[in-house]
Amino acid sequence: MHPLRRLPALPLLLLPHGSTPRRILATGASAASPLPWPGLHAWRRASPSDLRSWGPHGPCAPDTDDTGPPEACAAAGNGSSLAEMGALVLSTADPLAKAQLTHAAFSQWATGGLPVGLARAPDHPARPDKPLVVTQKEITTHKAMGVPLNAYMLHNLAHVELNAIDLAWDTVVRFSPLQDTLGDGFFADFARVADDESRHFRWYSQRLAELGFRYGDMPVHNLLWRECAKSSTDVSARMAVIPLVQEARGLDAGPRLVQKLLGFADHRSADIVAKVAEEELAHVSVGLFWFLKVCQMMGRVPGATFRDLIKEHGVVMKGPFNYPSRDEAGIPREWYDENFKHEAASKLSEVHDRLACVVEMEKENAS
């Protein structure tokens, strides 16, 4: 038996292998911590962004009608709910069609044209014939491939964003049976995340084309989707593994990638990466919001639950960490930094020792 399933409060948000969710209400739940990031409200209320091209001075609307590939246009009218549209995106192999269908689905949802609905998520998202998928050990350097560093980096980032589109839609579709428990806001948030990621993929694809490449020209690995599969039946694990680990890594890596691109004298690509990293803050923050909310529903302590889930699912926390961005998103450092946790525990122990000495001194003085 799954070790966490023995906990009486947890079945509220677990999807059994059959897939009818159990709705056992938790008792004794503590209040979730407040979310410190001030931009969440504005992010949620913003209209779907049509700034899906990258102009001379940053994001802009496409010069031409952005209808996307014909199959995206045909598929856009086939879904009667947000979950069904998400399942269509997951079943769409062409990356640009996937991005365009995502934008169409979220735009329709934002105008009130779709209910959340119910759909079944495929085991794996559809993928094009290229890029070639290899193991992580088989990925070679840009020098070995004979491609410029900036194009190599942008291709890797485009692959991350393509996976991020599917990861967000998989969250919407896979957990759609829990709509009554989670509420419409959960699905609205992750559909919005998917739309953001689709825009990021478009920016990277455009820049690759400007450099004479396209997505699919270089091999990629499938590590990102394997991480998603680890959390396919437990919404608390999904929040921990994807937004609070995978997307938080984007906060860590963004500034380093920007500096590499600037060192390569590619300021245009650096500007795109910096903008994407800035927008990823919302995705980490909204993931934290729902992780805290789910922990509240289950009556679980968030920090201990996060560490338990990460350990259980074999997720490795790798530094160096971008503490300012993680702090802004609201992730407590002791959740992910063992050194910080040990340092905090040591300081707390010192405080306790000092208090004990004070108490003893007061006793002696009183006698």
Average pLDDT by stretches of 10, the chain with 367 residues: 35 52 35 65 95 96 66 62 97 96 96 93 92 84 91 96 96 96 97 98 98 95 78 92 93 96 97 96 96 94 95 89 94 86 46 54 59
Select from 240, 244, 242, 239 the least CA-distant residue to 227. Answer: 242
Instruction: Please report the pLDDT score of residue 149 as a whole number.
Output: 95
* Contact between residue 37 and residue 281 where contact means Cβ atoms under 8 Å apart: yes
DSSP state of 133: B
Compute, in degrees rounded to 10, the torsion defined by CA atoms 241, 244, 245, 250: 140
Report the distance separating Cα 11 and Cα 3, nearest Å: 12
Q: Which of 101, 113, 115, 103 is nearest to 48 (CA)?
A: 103
- Helices assigned H by DSSP within 91-212: 95-110, 142-145, 149-174, 179-182, 184-210
CA distances from 156 to 62, 114, 149, 347 (A): 24, 33, 11, 41
pLDDT value of residue 222: 79
Predicted local confidence at residue 212, as pLDDT: 97
As beta bridge partners, residue 59 has 54
pLDDT confidence of residue 250: 92
pLDDT of 340 reads: 59
Q: Which of 323, 187, 180, 160 is nearest to 242 (CA)?
A: 160
Whose tokens are 């105008």? That residue is 111
User: Quick one: pLDDT at residue 138?
Assistant: 82
Query: Nearest-5° angle of CA 273, CA 279, CA 284?
Result: 115
From residue 232, how far is each of 72, 171, 174, 352 by CA, in Å?
A: 27, 8, 7, 42
Rounded Cα–Cα distance for residues 182 and 289 (Å): 12
Q: How far apart are CA 88 and CA 148, in angstroms?
A: 35
Amino acid, res. 40: L
pLDDT at position 8, please?
A: 33
Backbone φ and ψ for 6, nearest 5 degrees, come out as: -75, -15
